[in-house]
Amino acid sequence: MADRDDGRTVAETGAARETVFVGTFTGGVVGPSRRMLGPVRDGGHIIANTAPGCWGPMLTPAFKGGHEVTEPVAVEGAEVGDAIVIRIKDIQVTSIATSSGVDQPVEGRFLGDPYVAPRCPGCGTLNPPTRIEGTGPEAIRCAICGAEAAPFRIAHGYTMVFDSSRQLGVTVGAEAARRIGADGRRYMALPPESGQNPVVTVAPADLVGVLARLRPFLGHIGTTPAIDMPDSHNAGDFGSFLIGAPHEFGIPAEKLEHRTDAHLDIDSVRAGAILICPVKVRGGGVYLGDMHAMQGDGEIAGHTTDVAGTVTLQVHVLKGLNLDGPVLLPNAEDLPPLARPFTAEERARALALARQWGVAAIEETAPIQVVGSGPDLNSATDNGLRRMAALLDMSVAEVRNRATITGGIEIGRHPGIVTVTILAPLDRLERKGLLPFVREQYGIG
């Protein structure tokens, strides 16, 4: 973590480190006003103890965003217009249990947006401090007047426990859920600096005896946006809630371009993946959180199993790439079937076929994914297609054809995060400086 030097962070002194350890959090807001830890050297590592996202922060009215992400880390040499390549080296779940479910905002307990501006229905305080009294839906109380203060309820939910190897989870009944809720910080393994109310406090138990496999990934990872915004709203779908909003983070539509789409909820952003993120503030400001134990495409319940954990990243600066949003190189097994690299035998057969029809050579290609975001899935898809076209100097029409026959459109989060995948010509990837990372990830060339 950063040391202070005459009121400055290490990030401001330029003393780059091989490894930066992070266990402190931003309180729900990300942006250029937040201090940066580090810097970490180009090629160095970030090791983080992350707090659960979504539900715990959503039940903590003092937070001004729906997550509790780490303080950002500056990367040595990263300037606006560059990109930061993030290799996800390791993800480990530390929570013993968690709770989740479908949310229901509580009218009268927020100003415009329950994620950002919770308001106590008793004393009217915005973002009030709270205390926990017992367990159950009424347990989150305003510390000023004692009124129920949680801006959300779980309309249908569950409490899940994990085995010691963190491979399987099982949902439990009401009695076990209450026992877990009574010692929530321990069962959720909250980091010492975490300020959230543990979601297990409310002890939901509508699903009992459901078995699920763990497949942990990071729902929120990336770089700092160019304006201050609630952490959970650093994306095109949730970010659209800020347009014209009545609270302090309300913005005109054009300012949403300053986002970096770090709130992804894409289940392939897991150990082994490479994420390439835009730099929109000096130093980049890499931050992370919202680890999920498992999630199906779309996160259609709105929320999944938020857990605490430990994460190891390696970061590298890629100069002058000028990305608008993230580029993802997932593990090969997570690619759409049509985008998986061809074998030598397939290429030999294809070349023979091509020559039969007068085509002298076939393209050398490799997979690449671009994240698209927007208020809805159609808008997100259009955004992803435009981003891919800009990245590879193609027309949108060409990207649409390539995605149709060599890739696909996949849902990260409903309502508005998608991935656009194609097999891209190697010369285009080389021109953008991406080829070394693609070769590393997929063994091509």
Question: What does the pLDDT look like over 164-212, one tens digit per residue?
Answer: 999 999 999 999 999 999 999 999 999 999 999 999 999 999 999 999 9
Based on C-alpha coordinates, what's the Rg of the chain?
22
Spatial neighbors of 411 by CB under 8 A, at least 6 apart, are 297, 298, 377, 417, 418
Per-residue pLDDT, averaged over 40-66, amounts to 99
User: What pLDDT score does 4 carry?
Assistant: 33
- The pLDDT assigned to 191 comes to 99
What is the overall mean pLDDT for the chain?
Answer: 97
Res. 14 pLDDT band, cuts 50 70 90: low
Over residues 302-327, the mean pLDDT reads 99
Task: Answer yes or no: are the C-beta atoms of 136 and 175 closer than 8 Å.
Answer: no
**Region 27-31 average pLDDT:** 98
The pLDDT value recorded for residue 445 is 66
Q: Which fold has domain 4-53+71-94+222-283+310-329?
A: Jelly Rolls (2.60.120)
Reported as a single tens digit per residue, the pLDDT across 328-381 is 999 999 999 999 999 999 999 999 999 999 999 999 999 999 999 999 999 999
pLDDT score of 9: 45
Verify cis geometry, omega within 30 degrees of 0, for the bond prior to 415.
Answer: yes
Q: Give pLDDT, residue 6.
A: 34
Structure tokens at 218: 């990071």
Q: Is the pTM of this model over 0.85?
A: yes
Beta bridge mates, 160? 98, 171
Q: Residue 324: its pLDDT value, please? A: 98
Task: Report the pLDDT averaged over residues 37-42.
Answer: 98
Is-contact 100 155, C-beta < 8 A? no
Phi and psi at 338, nearest 5°, equal: -75, -15
For the cut 50, the answer to whether the pLDDT of residue 8 exceeds it is no
pLDDT for 5 beyond 70 = no
Instruction: Give the residue extent of every domain in the chain.
Output: 4-53+71-94+222-283+310-329, 332-442
pLDDT at 11: 52
Q: What mean pLDDT is predicted for residues 70-83? A: 99
Q: Does the pLDDT at position 76 exceed 90?
A: yes
* CA–CA distances in Å: residue 424 to residues 141, 278, 320, 363: 54, 20, 20, 9
Does the pLDDT of residue 10 top 60, yes or no?
no
Q: Across residues 272-279, what is the average pLDDT?
A: 99
What is the pLDDT at residue 62? 99
Instruction: List, for residues 420-438, the tens digit of each pLDDT value.
Output: 999 999 999 999 999 999 9
Q: In which band, very low, low, confident or very high, does the pLDDT at 439 lie, cut at 50, 70 and 90?
A: very high
